[in-house]
Chains A and B, each alone.
Chain A
Amino acid sequence: AQSVSQHNHHVILSEAASLELGCNYSYGGTVNLFWYVQYPGQHLQLLLKYFSGDPLVKGIKGFEAEFIKSKFSFNLRKPSVQWSDTAEYFCAVSSFSGGYNKLIFGAGTRLAVHP
């Protein structure tokens, strides 16, 4: 069965610090990969996605992620975080079986950025 593992449950950073959130998945076939963000009191929003092509994916708000197939990883990065990045971040994977996007989510990483 597919699964997604996020290494850090809670991360605390100061503004301007660099961010890297780990995500590993288990699935042997072709996958689509996603990072979603949930700001306090808001709905899940897509940060970025990887379907194919360049493994370095750029998303909104200065976020990027790198797909490393050999490591089954899709880590999220941002060079300099802002207080407004305080949110919960979810990595998700979907597979091609079934012909639609059934998302399997990790447990999430709660990020707190202090001014």
Chain B
Amino acid sequence: DTGVSQDPRHKITKRGQNVTFRCDPISEHNRLYWYRQTLGQGPEFLTYFQNEAQLEKSRLLSDRFSAERPKGSFSTLEIQRTEQGDSAMYLCASSFGKRREVNTEAFFGQGTRLTVV
């Protein structure tokens, strides 16, 4: 499968623990996005990478959240000191776009479902 892959698919953690998710975008896609989806809602934008540079972070991304994309390939999203409110589906998407090109299509992974108990 050459689509966007995310690992793990499911994660159950105790409140206060740290968790890290991984996203492998489609090869050669230079843009990578993280979204969060809670029950009954559409995905909400968290952060955006152009290659290895993190160009935008949503206000939803508190200081307990950190995302990286070293070398502009895979990305990780870490949540420190998890809270029950962090329980959600975390989605990764990737696309290819030239500088300031906006007519591009984002491809989504299957997501990581986080449950904080």
Enumerate chain A interface residues (CB-CB to B < 8 A). 4, 9, 32, 36, 42-46, 49, 51-52, 90, 92, 94-96, 98-108
Contact with A along B1-35 (1 / 0, CB 8 A): 00110000000000000000000000000010101
Answer yes or no: B50 CB below 8 A from chain A CBs. yes
Answer yes or no: B62 CB below 8 A from chain A CBs. no
- The number of chain B residues touching the other chain, given as a range, is 20 to 34
Q: Which residues on the A side are within 8 Å of B101 (C-beta)?
A: 99-100
B110 touches A104 (CB 8 A): no
At the interface with chain A, which of B38-46, B63-71, B73-81? Answer: B38-46
B48 touches A105 (CB 8 A): no
Enumerate chain B interface residues (CB-CB to A < 8 A). 3-4, 31, 33, 35, 40-45, 48, 50, 55-56, 91, 93, 95, 97, 99-111
Top 3 nearest A-B pairs (CB, nearest first) are A105-B42, A99-B100, A44-B108
Distance in Å: Cβ of B3 to nearest Cβ of chain A:
8
Interface-centre pick from A51, A90, A100, A106 (highest chain B CB count, 10 A): A100
Distance in Å: Cβ of A15 to nearest Cβ of chain B:
26
Q: Which residues on the A side are within 8 Å of B43 (C-beta)?
A: 44, 90, 103, 105
B56 touches A98 (CB 8 A): yes
B108 touches A101 (CB 8 A): no
B105 touches A46 (CB 8 A): yes
Q: Across the two chains, which residue of chain B brings its CB closest to A46?
A: B105
A51 touches B42 (CB 8 A): no
A107 touches B106 (CB 8 A): no
Given A102-B33, A103-B106, 17 more pairs with CB closer than 8 A: A9-B40, A32-B103, A43-B3, A43-B4, A43-B111, A44-B91, A90-B42, A95-B102, A96-B102, A100-B48, A100-B50, A100-B102, A100-B104, A103-B43, A103-B45, A103-B93, A107-B41
B42 touches A101 (CB 8 A): no
Interface-centre pick from B95, B106, B111 (highest chain A CB count, 10 A): B106
A92 touches B102 (CB 8 A): no
Complex: A19 Cα to B27 Cα, angstroms: 36
A102 touches B108 (CB 8 A): no
A94 touches B105 (CB 8 A): no
